[in-house]
Amino acid sequence: MSAPEEPRPIDYPLRDGGRITLESRGFRHPEAVRFAGDAFTPYDRITHVAVSSRSLRVGTERSVYVLNRHAFAREGDAEALVGQLARRVAELPDGMARIARMRGIDRTAAQARPQRVTWALLALCAAVQVLQLLSGDRLQEAGAFSATLVRGGELWRLVTANLLHAAPWLPVHFVLNGLALLTLGALLEWTIGSARTALVMGVSGIGAMGASLWVNYEEAVGASGVVMGVFGALVFLELRHGAELPAQWRLPRSIIWMGICLQLILEGLAWAFLPIIATGAHVGGFVSGFLTAAIVGRPGLRREALGTGLRAANALMAVALVASLASVAAAWREGPDWMRRAEILMREKHVPPLALNNAAWLLATAEDPDPEELDAALLLAERAVQESQRRDPSILDTLAEVHFQRGERSQAVEVIEEAIRIDPREAYYLGQRDRFLGRRAPEDRPGPPAPRRPGPGFNRERPGPLDPSMPEIGV
């Protein structure tokens, strides 16, 4: 008796010259990343096929592959390919059981609900963005993350910093985070539901700012810690439960690994050359989201009812959000208490020179500062100069300004001369010396200096004085 004849390969040509070929045991197709070449997927590894008006997605045990309809060279080949794949899977020894599982996954996909949590968070960030535009720097001053102020008791900053974004008048930071949140948040909310997504986002935001506290960031704002947490949750779900997910809810693993590698490279470059990117917050958010998904992911996939623990955790997150918003509103209304902050800064042991410097500058240059404020400014400025080893001209300039405001002109001239020796070509410091010597009016402070390239001992965190409200770090 002769062996059954194997079916002839079926080719589906693509517009770019490639092809999809159905063979006897599996099919060859382009990888998710086109430059990676072709992949071969056995039929017994296919877990789900999703078809839409724009694409078809083939989910497998190891990844998901996206095939755009317009990529096919012939009309109707996309539908023909889906039919042939279903036929080849059904012909497997356990083919009918596999088809039944696919239909179960289809039912899961049909249960997807609107992304209420994702849109709610995006709307809240947008509202805060508008308030930032209307209030100037005051709202950011009240709600931005600060390791020193969090340690001093202002715990609401662990929450509110996730809602603020840098440079609201040029909303690149907000737009990038918003688009990433909308894309990834929708996938996560479809996959595990709104309640569990809310927990992932809440834990990720606090985890991101908790990591910022651990690495001692003095100022950080932005929702990318939450975005990284959502991405971490999706990575866990793909690695652990990818075969159970609808193909349209999955991220190709080659894209995941490429994204992680690219993020690591960018974070390394940012750490070395652009220290306004909060690497610590990104890592903290990713790890928090990954671990939270490990706890709540499986019940979410099964659409299990919320347990008492999850309800309590979400209620606690809601209380924390409302209390934090109320606290930041009160701080916004009252304005910053720089004397209280000066006390916190002086009490803490490990405070970056930048934070000491900024507080000293704001106290000294406030309208009609009293002697007590100038005394506090002097203590802060002297400590900042000591911590920076007298190598940062902008910090030396702050100490000189404090002496000048206290009427100590000779000390002001002596200190600004130090700054000039470090950066002799900077016109700002020369103008400051003219003020202190009486060659310019006391109120005629020169414009801020141009940013300097980091050199030995130079404080890279702040390009120059006179703009202490600018956030150091965008998350």
As a whole number of Å, the CA-based R_g of the chain is 29
Span 438-474, pLDDT tens digits: 999 989 999 888 665 433 333 333 333 334 334 445 6
Q: Catalytic residue at 173?
A: no
Residue in 63, 212, 224, 327 annotated catalytic: 224
Q: Tokens 């049909």 correspond to what residue?
A: 110
Mark residue 262 as left, alpha or beta (left: phi above 0; alpha: psi -120 to 50; beta: remaining).
alpha
Give the Cα separation of 341 and 197 in Å (integer). Answer: 36
pLDDT score for 127: 96
DSSP string, 104-157: HHHHHHHT----HHHHHHHHHHHHHHHHHHHHTTHHHHHHSB-HHHHHTT-TTH
Count of all residues that appear for the chain in the document: 475
301 pLDDT band (50/70/90 cuts)? confident
Provide the 3-class DSSP secondary structure of residue 29: strand
- Return the pLDDT at 35: 62
* pLDDT score of 317 more than 90: yes
Secondary structure class of 37 (helix, strand, coil): coil
How far, in Å, CA of 224 to CA of 286, rounded? 10
Burial letters for 376-395: b for 16+ Cβ neighbours within 10 Å, e otherwise?
Answer: bbbbbbebbbebbebbbbbb
Above 50 in pLDDT, residue 252?
Answer: yes
Where residue 2 falls (left for φ over 0; alpha for ψ -120 to 50; beta otherwise) is beta
Task: Look at strands 220-221 and 473-474 and give their pairing.
Answer: parallel
Distance separating alpha carbons of residues 278 and 221, to the nearest angstrom: 9
Nearest to 365 by CA among 325, 388, 397: 397
- Per DSSP, the three-state class of 23 is coil
Residue 415: name the closest of 393, 444, 387, 442 by CA: 393
Tell me the C-alpha distance between 6 and 25, whole Å.
10
Cα 467–473–474 angle (5° rounding)? 115
> What pLDDT score was predicted for residue 218?
82
Which tokens is 95 given? 């083919």
Q: Based on the residue annotation, tell me whether 282 is a catalytic residue of this protein.
A: yes
Q: How far apart are CA 430 and CA 439, in angstroms?
A: 11
Q: Is the alpha carbon torsion for 427, 432, 438, 440 positive or negative? A: positive
Q: pTM higher than 0.85 for the full model? A: no
- Average pLDDT for residues 216-225, to the nearest whole number? 90
Residue 223 pLDDT greater than 70, yes or no: yes
CA distances to 16, 115, 125, 170, 277 from 173, rounded to whole Å, are: 36, 22, 11, 8, 11
Query: What tens digit of pLDDT does each residue of 18-49 get?
Result: 899 999 999 999 887 666 678 899 999 999 99
Mean pLDDT value of segment 306-334: 93
In the set 29, 165, 173, 282, the catalytic residue is 282
Which range is least confidently modeled, 114-123, 341-350, 378-387, 414-423?
Answer: 341-350
What CA–CA distances, in Å, run from 129 to 116, 118, 170, 184, 194? 20, 17, 11, 21, 24
Q: How confident is the model at residue 296 (pLDDT cuts 50, 70, 90)?
A: very high
Mean of per-residue pLDDT scores for the chain: 88
Q: What is the pLDDT of residues 158-207, one digit of tens each?
A: 999 999 999 888 899 999 999 999 999 999 999 999 999 999 999 999 99
Q: Which domains does the chain have, with CATH numbers?
A: 10-110 (2.30.29), 116-334 (1.20.1540.10), 338-474 (1.25.40.10)
